[in-house]
Homo-oligomer: A and B are copies of this chain.
């Protein structure tokens, strides 16, 4: 079980590989992002993309799934504040692979909740050609190990 203390600035985690088929791309788009260039190969061929491309939200969700399964599910993560600088850098096309990666950019105890700490991650995905196709930053809240978290003032009052 990974606590706040597990995450050191500069640590890099490989999150796994996912390959998106045209069925995956169209299936996601039908439910969540029904733009013609995500949904309809003919319309996509006539669009500025020149063919079917994955929704950026699909790419982001796939990489989030990698992040959760490889790192966060077995941790004291208590949720996310959100994301910054989410960028869809290159089109993701049928057959493309997504290799996710997370790098710890900052880690600090929470100023008002001493039993927790905040970790800032840079999350990226590259394709099978080594090109970065997706990037974002996110701040996650983690519980701290008992030994490193100071005793809370409120708890002291009960002693």
Q: In the assembly, how many copies of this chain are there?
A: 2
Main secondary structure of the interface of A (DSSP, over half): mixed
A32 touches B86 (CB 8 A): no
Does A97 lie at the interface of the complex (its beta carbon under 8 Å from any beta carbon of B)? no
B32 touches A73 (CB 8 A): no
Interface residues on A, range: 35 or more
How would residues 50 to 61 of chain A score, 1 for a CB under 8 Å from any chain B CB and 0 otherwise? 000100110011
B56 touches A57 (CB 8 A): no
A45 to B143, CA, bound (A): 16
Does A80 lie at the interface of the complex (its beta carbon under 8 Å from any beta carbon of B)? yes
Residues of chain B lying within 8 A (CB to CB) of residue A49: 79
CB-based nearest B residue for A61: B32
B86 touches A82 (CB 8 A): yes
A88 touches B78 (CB 8 A): no
